[in-house]
Amino acid sequence: MSDEIIVNQDDWSLHRKGYFDQSRHKEKVREAIKQQLGDLIIDESIILSDGKKTTKIPMRSLEEFRFRYDFNKKNHTGQSDKKMSPGDILGREQSKKSGAGKGSGAGEEPGMDIYEAEISYDDLAAILFEELALPNLDDKKRPLIAHDKPEFNDIRKKGLMSNIDKKRTLIESIKRQALKGKTENLRITPDDLRFKTWETHPNFETNAVIFAMMDTSGSMGQFEKYISRTFFFWMVRFLRQKYENVEMRFLAHHTEAKEVSEEEFFTRGESGGTRCSSVYQLALEMIEREYPPEHYNIYPVHFTDGDNIGSDNARALNLMQKLVEVSQVVGYGEILRTHYSSTLMSTLKRITDPKLRLVTIRDRNEVYGALKMVFSEG
């Protein structure tokens, strides 16, 4: 009796092997991106490219699963008198000559294949933004009359040709001819035409405003400026990609604060001393004048090096408390290269309201953690 191999022709999984391999590859790329996300989002080539370039990430090459035999041994069978269960390890490959061991010298065995996967700005942003959201977003709505939303709610026999309902028109034609016993040469008559009609309703949307506040005083060096701009770079793109009706106001300050354009916000030089209370006061004035809390979700986010004038801390604490009361969440970030906190950070810690989220960045790859700290539901 000869050995036979029978392949079920109905098993279409054999024809989808390429699809499964492609899906597995994409999942491995996503895993590699997530593991290196903290380093990738601070890559200058991405930030300065305005989203038009790509970057590369190193990752292990993918191989098909297979058995590897040790030909130095005689027993090549897979039999065993032990009871095995799925997931049990049959054995580990030994590599005495690979050079992996400490002090083993030059290796003779081939190493692990590593290649660089190219990813676009959009791919990186999509994975980063999966974990970000505007926290405590309330359903504060008001009618936007300029954006009335049409609602199709009726079908009629007369109307504009631009509003014709093609599906219902065809159904009427088929029904009419079926009643006459005709099944061929489908024709549409004026009696078959059906038109959609609509009513307009005010379009209610959730309103939110973000106050991006950045210290531009003389104490903000190259490292502090780069970290601040990197944080706000991703913040702005996250908000524009995930939320339609979000306003952003850009405030810069030294001893005095003023509103600036987005371009100026990301390119403004540094000068003067630091008085953080000035930007808190400006934000509160704009909220009172333009963004009543009963209609808006308010999110002020401030980044500084914490080098504030000591006599200003008490005033900054008082104004920050007012900001927290009218906001959904307030983010305060300090960029420090020492292990000591500033006096302003110590002062703001007196506010126990969980809506105030304090973060400290001492290293470039901590920007990712700061984004998740400020923009998370928890």
Q: Residue 367 to residues 45, 54, 226, 284, 301: CA-CA distances in angstroms?
A: 16, 20, 11, 27, 14
Tell me the residue type at 363.
D
Q: What is the pLDDT of residue 167?
A: 85
Contact 283, 323 (CB under 8 A): yes
Tell me the residue type at 44.
E
Contact 348, 276 (CB under 8 A): no
Q: Residue 34 to residues 39, 121, 129, 303, 329: CA-CA distances in angstroms?
A: 10, 14, 11, 25, 26
Contacts of 33 (CB under 8 A, 6+ apart): 40, 57, 119, 123, 124, 127
pLDDT digit string (tens) for 173-213?
888 888 877 767 778 888 888 888 766 656 556 688 999 99
Give the whole-angstrom CA distance, residue 275 versus residue 307: 9
DSSP state, residue 336: -
Please give the domain boundaries of the chain with CATH numbers for all domains.
16-64+114-130 (no CATH), 141-204 (no CATH), 207-374 (3.40.50.410)
Q: What is the pLDDT along the chain (378 residues), one digit of tens a residue?
A: 455 555 555 555 555 556 566 666 666 666 766 676 767 777 666 665 555 555 565 555 555 555 565 555 555 555 556 666 766 666 655 544 444 444 455 555 555 555 566 666 677 777 778 878 888 888 665 544 445 556 666 787 777 777 888 888 888 888 888 887 776 777 888 888 888 876 665 655 668 899 999 999 988 988 999 999 999 999 998 998 888 778 999 999 999 999 999 999 988 777 788 999 999 999 999 999 999 998 899 999 999 998 899 899 999 999 999 999 999 999 999 999 877 778 899 999 999 999 999 999 999 889 989 999 999 886
Give the whole-angstrom CA distance, residue 359 versus residue 367: 10
Which H or E element spans position 192? none
